[in-house]
């Protein structure tokens, strides 16, 4: 049996949505565990610089993955950065892509006793543009970014040991339907569906695709200081008896991206303290 089941030393990693929250946790956590270069992708340059300050292995890469053109630009910038690091362009590999980028617009909420007129009004609170933007970022980017770096992923996969894989952050919102916020939940369910389809088509080509579904992990989108956030509203209900920590998410991704998880594809790891099973 391998002595290096969870070893990711020397890996080349690209993470979208890495300027804060779970993306930032992952960039810093994977760099700390020996990744050679972790490309932290995001729209906010100052925040990316702050994330990158934690390790020389983290390389900030400003980009927007909400369009196909944006994903292609991120791919091109990644290949150029690898070339500057001494890798021949035709030999650039990517050991792990984490599709983590996500946005959440304000949606209407209502109480249990709300009249149907109020519910109807709240359901129309998010605009057409908000629906388009959220689906482009939360769903479209999963397929687009994966497609853009697929040759680099397949090249890395030839070395085995779990290399050349994709992890998608679908969030437990993909599986929860009771709370108001249909747009975000629908977009994450869409991301889950895309991840499953990609796993079906790519695993035979050497590229594994899995998802993580975090919940109750503090982030910019899920701030425990905000009484309306999911983690604040449900903290007392978490079966595990605590709020999640960065290590919980990092550990799940290390498993999926290493030799330990190299026979796993098309799976979802719920990093939620058990909240989905009681919801």
Catalytic residue numbers, as ranges: 184
Rounded Cα–Cα distance for residues 175 and 154 (Å): 30
Whether the CB-CB separation of 41 and 64 falls below 8 Å is answered with no
Using the Cα atoms of residue 211, residue 273, residue 9 and residue 260 in order, give the sign of their dihedral.
negative
Rounded Cα–Cα distance for residues 129 and 78 (Å): 30
Rounded Cα–Cα distance for residues 166 and 153 (Å): 8
Instruction: Kindly state the greatest CA–CA separation across the chain.
Output: 63
C-alpha to C-alpha distances, 46 to 15, 23, 51, 98, nearest whole angstrom: 17, 15, 9, 21
**Tokens standing for residue 93:** 């590999």
Rounded Cα–Cα distance for residues 131 and 252 (Å): 30
CA proximity to 20, closest of 141, 138, 101, 117: 101
CA angle 17, 14, 67 (to 5 degrees): 55
């Amino acid at each position: 049996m391998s002595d290096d089941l969870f070893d990711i030393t020397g890996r080349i990693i690209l993470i979208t949505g890495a300027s804060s929250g779970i993306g930032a946790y992952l960039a810093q956590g994977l760099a700390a565990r020996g990744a050679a270069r972790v490309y932290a992708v995001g729209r906010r340059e100052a925040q990316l610089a702050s994330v990158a300050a934690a390790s020389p292995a983290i390389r900030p890469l400003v980009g927007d993955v909400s369009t196909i053109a944006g994903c292609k630009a991120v791919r091109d910038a990644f290949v150029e950065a690898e070339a500057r690091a001494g890798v021949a362009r035709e030999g650039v590999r990517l050991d792990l892509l984490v599709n983590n980028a996500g946005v959440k617009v304000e949606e209407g909420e209502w109480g249990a006793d709300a009249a149907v007129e109020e519910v109807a009004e709240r359901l129309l609170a998010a605009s057409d543009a908000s629906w388009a933007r959220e689906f482009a970022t939360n769903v479209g980017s999963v397929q687009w970014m994966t497609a853009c770096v697929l040759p680099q992923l397949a090249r890395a996969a030839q070395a085995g040991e779990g290399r050349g894989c994709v992890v998608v952050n679908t969030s437990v919102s993909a599986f929860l339907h009771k709370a108001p916020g249909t747009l975000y939940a629908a977009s994450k369910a869409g991301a889950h569906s895309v991840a499953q389809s990609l796993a079906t088509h790519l695993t035979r080509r050497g590229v594994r695709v899995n998802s993580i579904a975090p919940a109750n992990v503090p982030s910019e989108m899920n701030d425990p200081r905000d009484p309306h956030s999911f983690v604040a509203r449900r903290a007392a209900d978490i079966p595990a008896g605590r709020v999640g920590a960065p290590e919980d998410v990092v550990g799940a991704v290390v498993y999926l991206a290493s030799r330990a998880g190299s026979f796993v594809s098309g799976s979802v790891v719920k990093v939620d303290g058990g909240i989905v099973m009681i919801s």
